[in-house]
């Protein structure tokens, strides 16, 4: 009786070799697969960064975004250098489109010779391929900041203009209108009016202290203060055809009327002139402001 054949799986030397190789290779393959699995982050195809974090964020960002600014926050003005780098350098660094090149004194000398006011005027209103305000909005860069950029560019290119004076906090909007005024162009009229309206929006609060006192200690002081707070938004630059402060020709025909009539216009409005200039100042203070304006053209 023969023993039942022992069912050994390996019967030939060839199978033995295969079994030995397999016993090494299989664990190694498993280890390699495990390592790949553990290291399995998002893989991007070669030559595309479409799955990079920045790209994905850009694709899924909200469709519309509201840029909230605190209108009452003290404004921090950008320096001329910052404005230049952010805006003007696009053309003025390389001299693109025939722009006078930054630090190139030869390009700038004839322009600097025109004087700062002319340069600023051009920067604000545009000229040839130079877009108004370098293509920015007055909301982003105020006239003052553009002026700083002009001074920065000119002074690095052979000029020696003084640093433009910073507008006083409260008068910022008003002087914005005033600075735009030399533009004089009729298409700037709408912008001026908008600036004046913006200035007026802050008027009631600003004028409140002046309006608070029933009688003012010093009438001429109060008149000047009210003028600066309220009236100059339009009267400094002649916005909406307001008779300009200090402009005798503009005032002469109006002052032919009795002073009471002139006071009345200021108190109750006339054409585009809002009653009390849109403020809540007392009658006495408004009259004082009229006196102040009238005294400047006598
Ligand atoms: C899109 C290109 C471009 C941008 C952006 C730009 N400029 Fe210009 N700028 C020009 C060109 C072109 C001229 C030359 C215009 C000419 O003389 O016809 C010029 C000229 C000027 C002049 C000389 C004007 C004169 O009267 O000779 C000033 C000043 C100036 N730019 C200021 C600025 C300021 C400040 C900024 C940034 C707020 C700015 N520019 C941004 C293209 C640009
Ligand atoms: C929103 C712009 C604006 C503001 C702010 C403003 N004015 Fe006027 N003002 C005008 C305009 C426009 C006229 C010309 C009205 C006309 O003749 O039709 C005018 C005319 C006047 C006149 C001349 C009236 C006449 O014809 O005799 C006086 C005086 C005057 N304003 C005083 C003031 C005083 C004082 C304040 C500040 C308390 C003030 N204004 C604020 C726009 C303004």
Asked if 204 and 280 touch (Cβ cutoff 8 Å), the reply is: yes
Q: Please, what's the b/e burial string for 113-126 (b: 16 or more CB within 10 A of its CB; e: otherwise)?
A: eeebeebbbbbbbe
**How many angstroms separate the CA atoms of 126 and 99, rounded?**
12
> 97 CA distance to ligand 1 centroid (A)?
9
Beta-carbon neighbour count of residue 274 at 10 Å? Answer: 18
Token representation of residue 227: 């003028």
Alpha carbon distance 294, 288 (integer Å):
10
For residue 252 the two structure tokens come to: 């002469």
- Closest ligand to C-alpha of residue 119 is 1
What spacing in Å lies between the alpha carbon of 71 and ligand 1's midpoint? 29
Nearest CA to ligand 1 atom 28: 123
Cα dihedral: 249, 250, 252, 254 (round 10): 170
Counting ligands in written order, the one closest to the CA of 117 is 1
The CA distance from 243 to 238, in Å, is 6
CA distance 186 to 178: 15
Residues 6+ apart with CB under 8 A from 158: 105, 108, 109, 112
120 lines ligand 1 (CB under 6 A): no
Q: What pLDDT is attached to residue 17?
A: 93
Interval between CA 182 and ligand 1 midpoint (Å): 18
Q: Could you identify the residue written with the tokens 């399995």? A: 40
pLDDT truncated to tens, each residue of the chain (298 aa)? 455 566 778 888 999 999 999 999 999 999 999 998 887 776 666 677 777 888 888 888 877 777 777 777 777 888 999 999 999 998 899 888 889 999 998 899 989 988 899 999 999 998 888 888 998 888 888 888 999 999 999 999 988 888 888 877 544 444 444 444 444 344 445 555 565 555 555 444 444 444 444 444 577 788 888 898 888 888 888 878 889 898 888 899 999 988 999 999 999 888 888 888 888 888 999 999 999 999 888 8
């Amino acid at each position: 009786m023969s023993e039942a054949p022992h069912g050994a799986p390996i019967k030939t030397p060839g199978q033995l070799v295969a079994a030995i190789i397999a016993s090494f290779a299989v664990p190694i393959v498993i280890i390699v697969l495990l390592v790949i699995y553990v290291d399995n982050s998002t893989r991007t195809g070669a030559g595309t960064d479409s799955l990079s974090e920045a790209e994905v964020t850009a694709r899924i960002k909200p469709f519309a975004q509201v840029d909230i600014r605190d209108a009452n926050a003290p404004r921090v003005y950008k320096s001329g250098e910052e404005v230049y780098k952010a805006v003007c350098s696009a053309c003025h660094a390389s001299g693109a489109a025939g722009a006078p090149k930054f630090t190139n004194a030869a390009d700038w000398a004839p322009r600097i010779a025109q004087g700062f006011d002319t340069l600023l005027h051009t920067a604000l209103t545009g000229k040839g391929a130079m877009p108004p305000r370098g293509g920015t909005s007055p909301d982003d860069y105020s006239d003052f900041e553009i002026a700083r950029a002009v001074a920065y560019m000119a002074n690095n290119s052979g000029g020696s203009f003084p640093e433009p004076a910073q507008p006083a906090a409260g008068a910022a909007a008003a002087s914005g209108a005033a600075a735009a005024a030399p533009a004089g162009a009729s298409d700037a009229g709408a912008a001026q009016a908008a600036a004046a309206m913006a200035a007026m929006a802050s008027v009631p609060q600003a004028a409140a202290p002046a309006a608070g006192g029933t009688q003012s200690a010093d009438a001429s002081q109060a008149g000047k203060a009210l003028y600066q707070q309220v009236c100059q938004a339009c009267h400094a630059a002649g916005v909406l055809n307001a008779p300009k402060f200090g402009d005798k020709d503009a005032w002469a025909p109006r002052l032919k009327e009795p002073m009471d009539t002139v006071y009345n216009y200021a108190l109750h409005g006339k054409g585009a002139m809002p009653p009390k200039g849109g403020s809540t100042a007392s009658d006495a203070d408004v009259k004082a402001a009229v006196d102040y304006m009238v005294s400047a053209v006598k």
